[in-house]
Amino acid sequence: MIDSGMISKIQKAKEYADEPHRIQFHSFQVQFDGKHNGHTVTYRKGTWHCDCRYFQGHQVCSHTMAMERILGVMLPK
Ligand SMILES: [Zn+2]
């Protein structure tokens, strides 16, 4: 049984889902299955970290850059 309140919440959720700029992540951790190895990528208050070797020397890597592309406007500026 879905009441009218729930229907309006579902409608609002659909609108919000089309407006991802409303949401910004503070922190999260993901398992990233790369072509050769799996990596743990973390994001905390605007700073990325990846456990791959390339990241150690560059502070950026294909995994963090891919995450930026995927999450786009949901990351804080
Ligand atoms: Zn990496």
Instruction: State in Å: Cα 32 to ligand 1 middle.
Output: 9
pLDDT tens track for 43-75: 998 999 999 999 999 999 999 999 999 998 888
CB 28 within 8 A of CB 42: yes
CB 50 within 8 A of CB 40: yes
For residue 2, the model assigns a pLDDT of 78
Instruction: State in Å: Cα 46 to ligand 1 middle.
Output: 16
Instruction: State in Å: Cα 19 to ligand 1 middle.
Output: 29
Distance, in Å, from the CA atom of 32 to the CA atom of 18, rounded to the nearest integer, reads: 25
Residue 19: both structure tokens together: 């407006």
Q: Where are the domains of the chain?
A: 24-77
Distance, in Å, from the CA atom of 8 to the CA atom of 1, rounded to the nearest integer, reads: 14
Q: Model pTM?
A: 0.82
For residue 68, the model assigns a pLDDT of 95
Instruction: State in Å: Cα 27 to ligand 1 middle.
Output: 17
pLDDT tens track for 3-42: 999 999 999 999 999 999 999 999 999 999 999 999 999 9
| Residue 64 DSSP label | H
Instruction: State in Å: Cα 21 to ligand 1 middle.
Output: 25
For residue 76, the model assigns a pLDDT of 81
